[in-house]
Chain A
Amino acid sequence: MTNKTKNPPIDRIDGRMKVTGGAKYFADFELPNTAYCVIVGSEIAKGAIASLDTQKAQGAPGVVGVFTHQNMPPIPGWDAPVGGEADGPAPKPKTEETYRILSSPKILFDGQPVAIVVADTYERATYAASLVKVTYTKQAPRTDLEKHLSEGVAPKGAEGGNYLRGAADGYKTAPVTLEAHYTIPVEVHNPMELHGILAHWTDDKQLMIYAKTQGVNATQNAMAQAFKIDPKTIHVHTEFMGGGFGMGLRTWPQETAVVAIARKIGRPLKLVMNRSQMFTLVGHRPYTVQTINMGADQAGKLIGIAHAATAETASYEDFTEATVNMTKFMYACPNVSTRYRIVRLDRSVPIWMRGPGEATGAFALESAMDEMAHKLNLDPIDFRLRNYSETDPERNRPYSSKNLKEAYQRGADAIGWKERRNQPGSTRDGGWQIGYGMSTGVFSAFRWEASARALLKADGSLTIQSAVTDIGPGTGTALTMIAHTVLGVPLNRIRIEYGDTSLPKAPTQGGSAIVSAVGSAVYDACTAIKTELMQLALKAGGPLAGQQTDELTLADGVLSVSAEPKKKVAVSDLMQANKLTVIDKTKDSKGSPEQEKYSMYSFSVHFVQVRVNPLTGVVRVSKAVSVADSGRIVSPKTAASQMIGGVAGGIGMALTEEAIIDHRFGRFVNNNLADYHVAVHADVPAIETIMIDKPDPIINPMGAKGMGEIALIGFAGAVANAVFNATGQRVRELPITPDKVMQKLT
């Protein structure tokens, strides 16, 4: 079994391609006669196009066409839901408003495409786009969630229902209570790679797409729906993707538009959006306000928690996420209620962003836990341990595995938690105030259905195939490790092919679920090869006849008897003796019904030390320790990178990231990477990552649970708690910028 021993760290299998510039992302592909397109975005957030003048643009050099709602080629599947989420959540319920790109003069959000200009070079398309003249009939946009909180509606679907355990107002009866409001601004994924697509109809029925998508099968299905063609005639390729963080979890309308225009002009068409368009056309983490009411007794036992969240969505689509879920099961608490509402605004639609709603909710819950611990004069870890849930209180069933106590202890040791004083503002170093904070993260562990193919050749080489995309976490490396562990084929003899719809179907990369889903399929396919090899060796007349399967070891291309290593046969000899040039197995894999008896979660604990300058309000994260309890770690090196990446993302979320809207116009004022500040080198200290690395016995044969989300979930709360410990000031509105710290200090 692969889950019995820890896996060694290995180099990223695609590292060489990435450091040489050899890795090809969608925009790096070259097709003969490719045309370039540029999107012209609306300058208003609500209203309608009054007039459109495209004549000058049409006449500009090299222009192939200018496409607007007046001449957009038809997209026959517009009537069907075009979510591209065939492998993800169910299609969103229809709202009163609909948004179909370039189909009407109506403007529903700032930056909405009003024209797509196509020319023979990028420069000519860009220049021609500047010649498109549009006038508008404006209406006052509603974009400020804070002003429209009373308009919140319960969304349809699972996330719309209120949750109740015990009494909704149970917290009120507790001797110690708190009520606190927390705000998270709009955050934007901003992967380094700009979004876009390269589409080519090789004839009217065959479509080739180089995409920036987290799921090639999902893009294939979305385009099949949009153009009412057989998915088999659509080939989607995304071997390398320059980061997604959630923005590639669906097929966006402009991708569909580019495919339609490519068909019309009869030549390959490439779209590379600009950075400011990344703020409006590919989703964002929604602005969310939350209220937590909490009550506890003097012994530090929680009596009740009520968690309410209200988030923005678009007028034309209800986006929902699991913002309040963590509160339902994280702590053993008899009275818990949650409530989730959305407000439809004149904004472009959000999409899940790393951690997604759980990261938003964890900031509130884990800040409130820290606030309550302070009221009770308890150490924040001690307070959490007093309310530790040994079984899932939401669904009354055991956790498949949970080693959170060990995670608290190891993280505390590593950060030097004993240096922390419970009294805020106690520690100074030079002119800086020092504080320590911690927070818990949790995210569902899934086992989705996936398929994979494994081909073992007589020369000893192994090829693994799956359509799954590797958006950066090291999926290919992890799958290689799993194949290596099952079949004992040396790592340098394993080739992996992925990110292409010609390969066995796989789910969209997201939800921290890919090692579990696709890894299990690789495990099953490799195990099927192993089984066949053993049958060949053990059959009458076979080289190891008379032995039992459980007595055999398969390693480095040799099948041997574990107790008598001299009894052995080389896999290549075995295959040749049976006239086999290849053993080829494809397996579909999914979880068992047995899993329904358990609650499956990955857990994390984040510890930070911050330095706060009392004169300027500047907060620096000076130390960070993140602990992952996510089952067996398949690829320790890339897993550690995922964790440090979560810390960098968490530092940005905690201290700097905020997309600011000027509500007079309903548009962003900082839609670029200079003004929307993601963490840079200077913001991020050395980081220690700790893996509990104990296999989960339920989730999958590897015992591995996901870690992409838990790397981020909770981190911002740990920073806020550390700022409180350093200064005695509680900042409940992210990001924790110097002005907010100073306002509290003075």
Chain B
Amino acid sequence: MNDTENLDSELGNSTSSRRIFLKQSSALAALAMTPPTAVAAVNTGIQEKIATALEQMPLRLTINGKVQQLSIEPRVTLLDLLREQLHLTGTKKGCDHGQCGACTVHVDGARVNSCLTLAMTTEGCTVTTIEGLTVGDPATTLLHPMQEAFIKHDGFQCGYCTPGQIMSAVACIREGHANTPEEVREYMSGNICRCGAYANIVNAIMDVKKKGARV
């Protein structure tokens, strides 16, 4: 058995925990406790390649009403999972740091920044994205009251922050934080609109709130 095979079987037995262990242990502890061949493999990157193949983790969650059984790398964010693997590109990346709100989705009904959410943490959760507010072809489908209100009040210009604004706006009403324009401004301040459609967005939210439609 050569060194690579040896390493392979070691990793195979312990799935990915071995690699995490190697990464997280202090250098001294790692040197003291691991075979020299494994340490060398870490340094040359061979171990990376092998470990990556084993690093796919199972994830089961419901997205827009559909159960998804996935196998993903644990470092994948919910945002990148939606956009790059599940073709749900309505959710946008504006900063990747939870500073702009463009990536807002609902996880178990609560608004979250999907860029700050590791996808693995949503195991068993129900996720709703902008695509999930309606059913069917976006060009013809019946719209959610908040989507209708954004069109009526022109609550956007370029439209890039809009999916996040709408998901946040729906949650804002559900939370009971849309009683006055001032309150809406406060509770919507995590969603930046650089085109500056704020005044129209507030009008749209207050309109939906006043009409009392179920959101």
Assess whether B38 is interfacial by the CB under 8 Å rule. no
B95 near A275 (CB under 8 angstroms)?
yes
User: A672 touching B99 by the CB < 8 A rule?
Assistant: yes
Contacting residues, chain A, for B194 (C-beta < 8 A): 190-192, 243, 245, 649, 678
Please, what's the 1-or-0 string for B185-208, where 1 marks a CB less than 8 Å from any CB in chain A? 110111111111111111000000
Cβ of B20 to closest chain A Cβ, rounded Å: 14
Given A22-B138, A674-B99, A11 contacting B154 (CB threshold 8 A): yes
User: How many interface residues does A have (CB within 8 Å)?
Assistant: 66
User: B98's closest neighbor in chain A, by CB?
Assistant: A674
CA distance A57 to B49 in the complex (A): 12
A residues near B (Cβ < 8 Å) are 11-12, 14-25, 27-28, 30, 56, 59-62, 121-123, 127, 190-194, 240-243, 245, 272, 274-275, 471-474, 637-638, 640-642, 644-649, 672-674, 678-682, 684-687
CB of B89 within 8 A of CB of A19, answer no
What is the CB-to-nearest-CB distance from A645 to chain B, in angstroms, rounded to a whole number? 4
In this complex, which of B89, B93, B154, B159 has the most chain A Cβ atoms within 10 angstroms of its Cβ? B159
Instruction: Judge whether B158 and A193 touch: CB under 8 Å.
Output: yes
The answer to whether the Cβ of B102 comes within 8 Å of any Cβ in the partner chain is yes
Q: List 8 A-B contacts (CB under 8 A).
A: A19-B130, A19-B162, A191-B194, A473-B157, A645-B157, A673-B94, A681-B185, A687-B199
Residue numbers in A under 8 Å from B99 (CB-CB):
275, 672-674
For this complex, into which size category does the number of interface residues on chain B fall?
A: 35 or more
Chain A nearest CB: distance from B202 CB in Å?
7
Contacts of A646 in B (CB 8 A): 196
In the assembled complex, B37 has its CB within 8 A of some CB on chain A: no
Q: With A122-B84, A641-B154 as given contacts, are A22 and B139 in contact (CB-CB < 8 Å)? A: yes
Which residues in B have their C-beta under 8 angstroms from that of A61? 48-49, 52
The yes or no answer to B214 lying at the interface (CB within 8 A) is no
Nearest CB of B to A715, in Å? 11
Cross-chain contact A20 with B138 (CB below 8 angstroms): yes
Q: Would you call B192 and A192 a contact (CB within 8 A)?
A: yes
Q: For B50, give the chain A residue with the smallest CB separation.
A: A61
* B131 to A, closest residue via Cβ: A21
Q: Establish whether residues A644 and B197, one from each chain, have CB atoms under 8 Å apart when the complex forms.
A: yes
Contact segment of B6-14, B24-32, B143-151: B143-151
CB pair B90–A22 under 8 Å, yes or no, is yes
The 3 A-B pairs at the shortest CB distance, nearest first, are namely A21-B90, A648-B196, A242-B160
Would A241 and B139 count as touching, CB distance under 8 A?
A: no
Q: A641-B197, A678-B192, A681-B185 are in contact. Are A16 and B138 (CB under 8 A)?
A: yes
Given contact pairs A18-B162, A21-B89, A62-B52, A472 touches B157 in the complex (Cβ within 8 A): yes
With known contacts A17-B139, A274-B96, A192–B131 Cβ distance under 8 A: no
Instruction: Apart from A59-B46, A275-B99, A681-B189, list 12 A-B contacts with CB within 8 A.
Output: A15-B156, A19-B150, A20-B133, A27-B89, A61-B49, A191-B194, A192-B193, A641-B197, A642-B157, A647-B196, A648-B197, A673-B99
Q: Flag whether B212 is at the interface (Cβ < 8 A).
A: no
Cα-based distance from A25 to B197 in the complex (angstroms): 19
B176 → A minimal CB distance (Å): 17
Residues of B within 8 A of A19 (CB): 130, 143, 147, 150-151, 156, 159, 162-163, 166
B138 & A21 in contact (Cβ 8 Å cutoff): yes
Q: Within 8 Å CB of B202, what residues of A?
A: 681, 686
Contact B189 A191 (CB under 8 A): no
Contact A648 B96 (CB under 8 A): no
Residue B2, interface by CB 8 Å: no
- Alpha-carbon gap, A509 to B46, bound state (A): 50
Are A25 and B198 in touch, CB under 8 angstroms? Answer: no
User: B18 to chain A: closest CB distance in Å?
Assistant: 16
Assess the A681–B191 pair: CB atoms within 8 A. yes
A680 / chain B contacts, CB cutoff of 8 Å:
189-192, 198
**Residue numbers in A under 8 Å from B163 (CB-CB):** 19, 21
> Is A672 within 8 A of B157, CB to CB?
no
Kindly state whether residue B171 has any CB partner on chain A within 8 Å.
no
B97 touches A672 (CB 8 A): yes
Of the residues B80, B188, B198, contact of A122 by C-beta under 8 Å:
B80
Q: List the B side residues contacting A471 at CB < 8 Å.
A: 158
Task: Determine how close the nearest CB of chain B comes to the CB of A359; give it in whole angstroms.
Answer: 14
For B87, give its contact among A30, A243, A274, A645 (CB under 8 Å): A30
CA distance A256 to B89 in the complex (A): 25
Question: Which residue of chain A has its CB nearest to the CB of B150?
Answer: A19
Indicate if the CB atoms of B97 and A673 lie closer than 8 Å. Answer: yes
Chain B residues with Cβ under 8 A from A24's Cβ?
89
**Interface presence of B34 (CB below 8 A):** no
* Contact indicator per residue, chain B 100-131, by CB within 8 Å of chain A (1) or not (0): 10100000000000000000000000000111
B152 at the interface (CB under 8 A from A): yes
Please give, as numbers and ranges, the residues of chain A lying within 8 Å of B181 by CB-CB distance: 686
CB distance from A124 to the nearest CB of B (A): 8
Contact B152 A192 (CB under 8 A): no
Which one of A642, A646, A682 has the highest number of Cβ atoms from chain B below 10 Å of its Cβ? A682
Pairwise interchain contact B141-A20, C-beta atoms closer than 8 A: yes
Considering the chains assembled together, what is the distance between the CA atoms of A11 and B149 in angstroms?
Answer: 11
Return the chain B residue nearest A471 by Cβ.
Answer: B158
Q: How far, in whole Å, are A473 and B133 apart by their CA atoms in the complex?
A: 26
Asked if residues A15 and B97 are in contact (CB atoms below 8 Å), the reply is no
Determine how close the nearest CB of chain B comes to the CB of A734; give it in whole angstroms: 17
Contact B157 A193 (CB under 8 A): no
Residues on the B chain within 8 Å of A22, using CB? 90, 138-139
Give the complex CA separation of A614 and B85 in angstroms: 53
Given contacts A242-B158, A275-B96, contact A682 B138 (CB under 8 A): no
User: How far, in whole Å, are A22 and B194 apart by their CA atoms in the complex?
Assistant: 20
Contact present for A20 and B90 (CB under 8 Å): yes
Q: Cβ of B134: which chain A residues have Cβ within 8 Å of it?
A: 20
- A645 and B160 contact, CB distance less than 8 A: no
Taking a contact as CB atoms closer than 8 A, the residue among B45, B152, B156, B201 that contacts A18 in the complex is B156
